[in-house]
Amino acid sequence: MTPRRRIWSELLPLEAVRAPGTLALLRRYALELAIAVRPETAAGLPDLAAACADAGVAVAVWPMIADEDGRWASAGNAAAFGGFVARLLDALDARGLAAAEVAVDLEPPIQQVRRALGGGRGALALLGGGPRGARESPGERGARWRDAQRAYVEVAGAIHARGVATSAAIVPLVLADGPAGGWERILGTPVSAPPWGRVSAMLYTSLIEGYSRGALGRDDAVALLGWACRAAAGRFGPRAGVSVGAVGKGALGDEPVYRSVAELREDVAVAEAAGVQDLSLFDLGGVLARPPAEAWLEAFVAPPLEPRLPRTTLRARGVVAAAALVGRAAGAWGSWSRSWGDRGARRGEGCAVAAGESRSSPELAGAATRDATCPGRGSASSGVVCSCSSACCCWRGR
């Protein structure tokens, strides 16, 4: 496979990215550019795309919606995300321009990520599906997840229909999933169902080490990188890619970064030894802020002298085992909740309050909570309930 090298640019102003010196640097190292575009910077995208075309630099659009809507693509914002992507591509079409690719960043909403990185309740809340997930029944969560999968299948299809390629950036925990996709459900990131052209796992060793707060060292992070690269190649085949880093900070503002160019060079060697040739670097702003930029880019694109897979570590094995256990458990729960919801839907077909057939039940009044989707909308306070058995799926809280 021909090596592919791409660089993310998240926070650098579009005017700085399209500066002649920056574009010349990207062209010199044959780097594709993945440019983050927010609602407030969208107007500058066509000018940047035109400058990239003139400079011979391929550009991928990396859409990010408003932070209050989650910033990154996830189960709860498919409509907003898909609409934003369409507007960006329409703006390019209007100027006779085109993106080489749309890079879809699949992550939980940024507010949830910030709370989860703080540990404690924030992490537990993310595992529970966020605030909304805590309020839903298993059947409701399963239905919402399937709706999200279908929505992102449509988003990917709409992009492809324009002749534009797609890629998905994914959280590495998804690589620990079994067939049921437990981590996909937990994180709300539809990876498997949509027909993404490429899939790039975000394997930032500096973040793995730094966010562990001393629990993991550099050797552990590199060992996890090696495992994840092999897992990505095994799962996605020729579509597999890996994002390495971080050279600079991103949206969270506190991302731990590489200590030296040597760490980047080591990560590239590990990825290539695992058979992954599609690599992306995070990020351009960090490269330019930590000169010489050429040192970082040379380490990223030059073939490693000694591609090697690292030795595993006890801590790395523990992390992988724990992630796999949680993923399998969540996948089993998701499969159960889907069958639970399907059974409930079938039972609910007989749930109705027919005129003259309603019955009053003082025992159930005030003890049952009605599901708003039940066709027979009785009132617990009035004692009017549906005419089916009290074991019907439309009753909860008995």
> For the chain (length 398 residues), average pLDDT per consecutive 10?
92 97 98 98 98 98 98 97 98 98 98 89 77 64 92 98 98 91 94 98 98 96 98 97 98 97 97 96 98 98 86 96 92 60 48 39 34 37 36 32
Rounded-to-integer distance, Cα 231 and Cα 176, Å: 8
**pLDDT value for 141:** 81
Q: Is the C-alpha dihedral spanning 59, 60, 65, 70 positive or negative?
A: negative
Residue 276 φ/ψ, nearest 5 degrees: -95, 120
Q: Is the distance from CB of 393 to CB of 345 less than 8 angstroms? A: yes
**pLDDT value for 114:** 94
- Which residues does residue 370 pair with via DSSP β-bridges, in sequence order? 395
**pLDDT value for 163:** 97
List % helix, strand, coil for the chain (3-state, nearest 5). Answer: 50, 15, 35
The pTM for the full model equals 0.82
- Look up tokens 């190292």; give the residue: 29
Q: What is the CB neighbour count within 10 angstroms for residue 246? A: 23
For 33-85, the pLDDT digits (tens) are: 999 999 999 999 999 999 999 999 999 999 999 999 999 999 999 999 999 99
Q: What is the CB neighbour count within 10 angstroms for residue 369? A: 12
**pLDDT value for 130:** 57
Rounded-to-integer distance, Cα 238 and Cα 197, Å: 10
**pLDDT value for 135:** 61
**pLDDT value for 134:** 53
Q: In terms of Cα–Cα distance, which of 235, 251, 152 is closest to 195?
A: 152
Residue 18 φ/ψ, nearest 5 degrees: -85, 5
For 182-202, the pLDDT digits (tens) are: 999 999 999 999 999 999 999
